[in-house]
Chain A
Amino acid sequence: MSAITQGSSVSEATAPRSSAILISIKQNRGFYGAIVLLVLLYLVYNLLHPRGFTANVLIANANESAVLCFVAIAQALAVVTGGLDLSVGAVMTLTNTIASWLVRGEPWQIILGCLVTLASGTAFGFVNGLIIVYGRLQPIIATLASGAVAMGLALLLRPTPGGDVDGDLGWAATNSLRDLFETYGLFDDGEAPWLQPIAWFPVPLLIIIVVVGMVWIPLRRTVTGRTLYAIGSSEGAAYMSGLPIDRARLLAFTLAGFFAGCGGLYLAIQTGVGNADISQAGVYTLNSIAAVVLGGISLLGGIGSAVGAIFGAMILRVISFYFRVLSIDPLMQTLVEGVVLLAAVSLGTLRILRVKNRLELFR
């Protein structure tokens, strides 16, 4: 007992001032752990890959990861507040079918189509938020039901897969920066000398960076953004502090709808079609939860960030890339993925090992 008190008083009084990055690492072990894991996995993958360390491999991988990244960010917003959004996969599918009707024709039509697609995802998330905040329903239940509604709408819009999303956009958004500018005849068709050092950069990665930079980073610096974390940490304390709980939770689910919409739009641009695939929606929702856990976000709420979710999503994807280079039997793939998912979700319960007071397990 006395040893403990002594120890803590020493650390309070005379702890050496370590550098900011070390502190940050100590406080966000999950997040930095995800980065290290991703880098390691991806290095080994490139070593094993016959054409490893080339821009083409990177671009292909970025394309395959982008949609899951968006859906994982959507999930992260809900999870940080201590809830789960089971409709992210369905909203992604719904917006995918919407985009497959609208993103085509003249440039202004394409832009309008993109905006309408994103707006419908956002609106769907807003309705989720209204049901949860004012209907006082548990997020997991509310989104389970609203997700089914979203799937129903998607099936009405695309009973069978189809649509012809603008091909130029599809090419431009899924390749390198050079290809992007070449498609639209910008910067000397992407051959401008200043561009060359970064011309290899995959457009999908850029899109994710831009969207996160424009939405998530500013959000973290608003009171509403901080309130998201406060709700997840201790809703009682957040309420007693007079923080805008309702507004923050409404915003979390609205933005979850927006990011799911980004995923749906990108999927339509990438594949060129809309597809109301029920099992795909379920897989994306499940993967989004696993990605969030892998990215160092606590399922109990209050800890983690959208950036962590992106790394988590990429880790999941890289694991599936291994199936190709290791030529694992495709029949085994679902099984292995399932085990990886289970392991990822189990990571969230590791804290139980550290809990000393068993009563805390029930809180």
Chain B
Amino acid sequence: MALEQQTPPFVELRGVSKFYSGVRALEGVDLSCRQGSIHAILGENGAGKSTLIKIMSGVVRPDTGTVSVAGVQHQFNKPADAVRTGIVSVYQELSLIPDLTVAENISISDPPRRFGLIDSRAQTRRAEALLARIHCEDVDPRAVVRDLSLSRRQMVEIAKAIGKAPELLILDEATSALTSRDVETIYRVLDQLRQDGVGMLFISHRMHEVEALCDTLSVFRNGRHIETFAKGAHGQDEIVKLMIGRDIVHQFPPPPVPQERKPHLVVEGLRWEDRLHGVSLTVGKGEIVGLGGLDGQGQKEFLLALFGVLRGVSGTVSIEGRAASPSSPADAKGGANRIALVPEDRKTEGLMLPMSVADNLLSAAYDKVLRGPFIDPEKSRRAVADAIAKLQIKVARPDDAVATLSGGNQQKVVIAKWLMTDPGLVLLNDPTRGIDVGTKQEIYQLMRNLADQGTAILFYSTDYAELIGLCDRVLVMYDGRIVTELAGDEATEERLVAAALNIRSTDTPREGARQ
């Protein structure tokens, strides 16, 4: 490429690896970023994109390998070190402080001073100038960030980053919260920055944005850098193939013969805030339905809405033909609803870590072990022993604190705890994340057994192989809607990835089947 000869790389990574407790996040990555270029990083969930960014911006240190900026090798101990060399990040999770004003936020790390004190007038002027630069004059620098919409906050975040005079600007999903008008503005701003010689790393799940903005693309997969190429060198289908590659094959229980099923859960037009835009679906008795799509497309919110955690949900939900709109988890698990939710974060939502395995197992199903108003010790002991045996939880004594168990066994405790409530509908939020392969397979088998006994299962996973191998049907969500339904053999990695990116793969069936 002629382009690559023009400028020497500004940031250069050599042999960078990062492992989290033995699990590969990045391995042997070489990557160069040039000034005056917009460089897209593409990859599935867990491909290592966020780790890459964290290393470049000084949030985490690589286990091995080097990071050089403008030819000089650096070791970043904290984000401020990276900023000093000109690497500035705009994060997906906003880093603004809600109770401070826009101007205060923009200048938070290095405010203009007069006689040693912060010069608030200069600070406001600076904010005005930066906001004007990104065509965001409608934001008042004196407004408190809390009062701004998500899209405006994101713009303030970008203004803050530009204010640090970046040489390389990292945009991690920076456009995901923007309205389409703001996206247009940002395109122009980024283009201007490119002409000014700023380099940019652009991480986005939106293929059309990548196509419109970037000149260089790099694909990551399973923590490895697969290929870097100029825009136009590969078509969309080829890019998707690069992102998937060949993966480890999981062992899944054989799926049952497709059949007509009596509907258990019927959802029509579920809406909540700006995260769910009318979700409709049906889950039959004994059916495992997968929820797919990229992270953050409303899957988690959808499960929480069904479980009665969210306020202000509209739309209709019925279970076995009866209207069901639980107002709390207590309501959702009880009565005729019989819903169980294995939550996303087992450490804060699933378990009470200092308490014993027995207490945790019983915590959702005390009504099953009561005698009168009191907890019956004998019934409890038997129920706990049953659950431990059924899920083969490896624990020396049921009285041990659950914090002493391994991650996989903790997850088994969460699942067992909910199975003790005898649910009719089980919602699972990425239940196999961060656990070992052996336990994963036990959980797959358990889910299939449950389904065979007539339980309806709705299963969100970030692992495409699971969705394909385990589910009877897969529904792919994008931007708070279900955009694609793939039944049985229709579910392939290509189609799932294409649907997750909301691009029309040439052979995607039933496009938008359940809008």
Contacts and interface: CB of A to CB of B under 8 A. Distances in A.
Interface of A: 1, 5, 8-9, 11-13, 15, 17, 23, 27, 218, 221-223, 226, 229-230, 233-234, 236-244, 302-303
B328 interface: yes
Nearest to A300: B354
B399 interface: yes
The 3 tightest CB contacts between A and B, nearest first, are A233-B352, A242-B330, A15-B396
B329 A1 contact: no
A221 B363 contact: no
B373 interface: yes
B254 interface: no
A174 B352 CA distance: 43
Given A23-B397, A223-B366, A234 B353 contact: yes
**Chain A residues touching B, majority SS:** helix
A244 B374 contact: no
Interface string B211-237: 000000000000000000000000000
B322 to A, nearest CB: 19
Contact of B394 (A13, A230, A240, A302): A13
Interface in B339-381: 341, 343, 348-356, 359, 362-364, 366-367, 370, 373-375, 377
Most buried by A among B359, B362, B396, B397: B396
A218 B375 CA distance: 10
Contacts of B309: 240
A291 B351 CA distance: 29
B359 A226 contact: yes
Contact of B355 (A5, A240, A242, A302): A302
A233 B352 CA distance: 5
26 contacts: A8-B406, A11-B404, A12-B395, A15-B396, A218-B374, A221-B374, A221-B375, A222-B373, A222-B374, A223-B367, A223-B375, A226-B362, A226-B375, A230-B359, A236-B348, A238-B352, A239-B328, A239-B329, A240-B341, A240-B349, A240-B350, A241-B329, A242-B331, A243-B363, A243-B366, A302-B355
Given A242-B330, A242-B332, A233 B355 contact: yes
A303 B354 CA distance: 8
A238 B354 contact: no
Nearest to A27: B399
Contacts of A302: 352, 354-355
Given A27-B401, A233-B352, A241-B417, A223 B364 contact: no
Contacts of A221: 374-375, 377
Interface residues of B, number: 44
Contacts of B509: none
Given A221-B375, A302-B354, A237 B396 contact: no
Contact of A229 (B329, B334, B355, B405): B355
A357 to B, nearest CB: 12
B205 interface: no
A347 B293 CA distance: 49
B419 to A, nearest CB: 13
Contacts of A242: 328-334, 364
Contacts of B417: 241
Contact of B352 (A5, A9, A237): A237
A230 B330 CA distance: 14
B41 to A, nearest CB: 26
Interface in B87-145: none
A9 to B, nearest CB: 8
Given A27-B399, A223-B366, A240 B343 contact: yes
B180 interface: no
B317 to A, nearest CB: 17
B99 to A, nearest CB: 18
Contacts of A218: 374
B405 to A, nearest CB: 8
Contacts of A233: 352-355
B370 A223 contact: yes
Contacts of B353: 233-234
A243 B330 contact: yes
A23 B351 CA distance: 21
Nearest to A8: B406
A243 B334 CA distance: 11
Interface string B387-399: 0000000111101
